[in-house]
Amino acid sequence: MKTRILAFVLAACWPASAQRDFLRPDEVELVREAQEPDVRLPLYVKFARERIRMVEQMLAKERPGRGALIRQTLEEYTRIIEAMDAVSEDALRRGWPAAKGISAMASAEKEFLAALEKLAKTDAPDLPVYRFALEEAILATRDSLEIAGEDLSARESEVRAREERERKEREAQMRPEEIEARRAAEKKEEEQKKKVPTLRRPGETVPPKK
């Protein structure tokens, strides 16, 4: 199960441009303002919960094209879950505080999984249209919940050990000058670890609150 999640979390925090694919413009702005993982993760939880409620509301009334809308909403939900996994993994890798956010994430995902499994048992006539998206949402939630429930200290050690193994594997294929350049870049990144994560573009600032 972890293999599926790692395919997404190794990309670290999702850039703002990628998040526009599955978040509304107002949600992207809220995420930009929520810099700390312990703040950003509960925000993603809120977005995920809203997607599930949207699906439940759509299923309450039949209308043309409903199946496609449900499929799109479920796909957005799955991407949000994957984004949460990326943020929590990156926070552990960089040593940023994330215990509260991950706890909120795990608690909510139990609720999400129950709701999704209930949806899978319905006999809606347009179920075939969104069945695959629903199955993917359930799988992503199960995998994410499994990882979120792990001991954070052990998980952090695992993340850093994996990062070190991958670094050695990359360097084994590199020339000495390439290794030196990469290490210089890594040193520069280390200096940024004390800074909070951000989704802002270069030069962008948080607009004053109204």
48 belongs to a structural domain: yes
Count of residues making up the chain: 210
108 belongs to a structural domain: yes
| pLDDT greater at residue 182 or residue 67 | 67
Both ends of the chain: CA-CA distance in Å? 44
145 belongs to a structural domain: yes
Q: Which pLDDT does position 94 carry in this prediction?
A: 78
Q: Which pLDDT does position 205 carry in this prediction?
A: 52
138 belongs to a structural domain: yes
201 belongs to a structural domain: no
Q: What would the pLDDT profile of 19-74 be if each residue is shown by its tens digit?
A: 558 899 999 999 988 888 899 999 999 999 999 999 999 999 989 999 999 999 99
Nearest Cα neighbor of 105 from 59, 43, 153 is 43
Domain with 28 in it: 2-150
Q: What would the pLDDT profile of 85-130 be if each residue is shown by its tens digit?
A: 999 888 888 777 788 888 999 999 999 999 999 999 988 999 999 9
Contact 159, 90 (CB under 8 A): no
- What percentage of the chain exceeds 90 in pLDDT? 44
Q: What's the pTM?
A: 0.71
Per-residue pLDDT, averaged over 148-154, amounts to 72
210 belongs to a structural domain: no
- Please give the mean pLDDT across all residues of the chain: 79
Q: Which pLDDT does position 180 carry in this prediction?
A: 75
Nearest Cα neighbor of 116 from 130, 101, 102 is 130
92 belongs to a structural domain: yes
Contact 89, 9 (CB under 8 A): yes
Q: Which pLDDT does position 82 carry in this prediction?
A: 94
Per-residue pLDDT, averaged over 8-15, amounts to 41
| pLDDT greater at residue 36 or residue 180 | 36
| pLDDT greater at residue 188 or residue 54 | 54
Query: Is pLDDT at 195 greater than 80 in this prediction?
Result: no
Query: Is pLDDT at 18 greater than 90 in this prediction?
Result: no
Query: Is pLDDT at 135 greater than 60 in this prediction?
Result: yes
- Backbone angles phi and psi of 94, in degrees to 5: -95, -5
Query: Is pLDDT at 13 greater than 50 in this prediction?
Result: no
Domain count of the fold of the chain: 1
CA distance 135 to 116: 9
30 belongs to a structural domain: yes
Per-residue pLDDT, averaged over 128-155, amounts to 88
